[in-house]
Amino acid sequence: MNITDLLTDLQSQYDETTVRAGELRDQIEHLTATLAETEARLADLDTTRKVITELAPAGEDSEPAESTTAYQAIVNAFNQHPDQAFRARELHELLGMPTDEATVNITRSRLGRLVRQGFLTQPGRGHYQKRT
């Protein structure tokens, strides 16, 4: 290979590399713009989430998942035994839940809420039954 062929080959490689560098700069420019748009969208979504969290009324939707599961277990027990009245501790025993006083008191609160929502009745002090 002579020097002229070598220089021609180098010039060809240089031209191809220059074109490729231009393409990459264009891609970088496009990706930078897309990234800026995406980050702005993330900021908007974060702001929206914060506003909704502040404005949302406290209540059922703010219940932790474990409470929802506990409510579902309680409701299921009453659905399976619609004519039976339960005390909170009896309900815990039926469901295999801990029977310590603190845990039973939480269930008493949940039962009271279900009474206020109209799902249960309270036929006697400390007794709860499914509303028919």
Amino acid at 35: L
Residue 86: both structure tokens together: 């339960």
Q: What value does the mean pLDDT take over residues 31-52?
A: 87
Nearest by Cα to 114 from 64, 73, 82, 71: 71
Q: Provide the pLDDT confidence category of residue 71 given band limits of 50, 70 and 90.
A: confident
DSSP secondary structure letters along 52-120: HHHHSPSSGGG--HHHHHHHHHHHHHHHHSTT--B-HHHHHHHHT----HHHHHHHHHHHHHHHHTTSE
Judged against a pLDDT cut of 80, whether residue 31 lies above it is answered with yes
Q: Band the pLDDT of 18: cuts 50, 70, 90.
A: very high
User: 10 versus 58: which is more confidently predicted?
Assistant: 10
As a whole-number percent, the residues of the chain with pLDDT over 70 amount to 90
CA triple 89-91-96, angle to 5 deg: 95
Q: Which amino acid is at 84?
A: Q
pLDDT given at position 72: 87
* Percent of the chain at pLDDT exceeding 90: 47
Q: What is the pLDDT of residues 76-125, one digit of tens each?
A: 899 999 889 999 999 999 988 888 988 899 999 989 988 998 889 999 89
